[in-house]
Amino acid sequence: MDRIEEGKAGYTSPFPYVEKLQSKMDEILSRQVPNNGSFCSFCFGRINVTENQCQFCETTDLSNQVSAVPKEILMIYQVKRRTESIWVYTGALLGLMLAAGLFLILVLWGPGFLGHPGFAFLVLIGGGYLLAQLCGPLICGQMGYRKGAAKRDALWTTYLEKTESKD
């Protein structure tokens, strides 16, 4: 029986609002937007003054908004970002190493035209680019996304449990 995968890269977050907020938190982390304003006290999504509910978690209690996203919350989102980038860069490096190995094989043992250093150099440059793109973002990026999102969601679960125990 075929398994149908749902969600991005085969991963479905138990917290859809956290998934929607990832790009917004990435903007704050990279300092593209300031970390001040009105934020939902539950999910820390930015709230416009004209809204009656949070557009991310749909909380209607907007009476106790916060003025900035706490560092602890930003670190939760940064975990996904870092994990994903480590997987992508490692995969790209693996692709480049495969191309370098192919280059050496062609130069040292390639018969005729295949063993010519000029052809091997073209394989190194073109193959390095293609293999880095294939192994980095396309293959390892998918695994990195799943691992990073799972780590982020586990940390968010821990955060929710911690805040519920305070109440």
pLDDT at 94: 97
86 lies in the same domain as 164: yes
Domain end (from 69, 94, 109): 69
Which H helix or E strand runs over 35?
Answer: none
DSSP letter (8 states) at residue 11: B
Average pLDDT over residues 142-151: 96
Indicate the number of domains in the chain.
2
Average pLDDT over residues 25-31: 96
132 lies in the same domain as 163: yes
Q: What is the pLDDT of residues 45-55, one digit of tens each?
A: 999 888 888 99
For the entire predicted model, the pTM comes to: 0.84
List the beta bridge partners of residue 81. none
pLDDT at 6: 66
Domain region containing 165: 79-167
88 lies in the same domain as 18: no
54 lies in the same domain as 128: no
User: Does residue 32 belong to any structural domain of this protein?
Assistant: yes
pLDDT at 4: 47
Domain end (from 40, 69, 98): 69
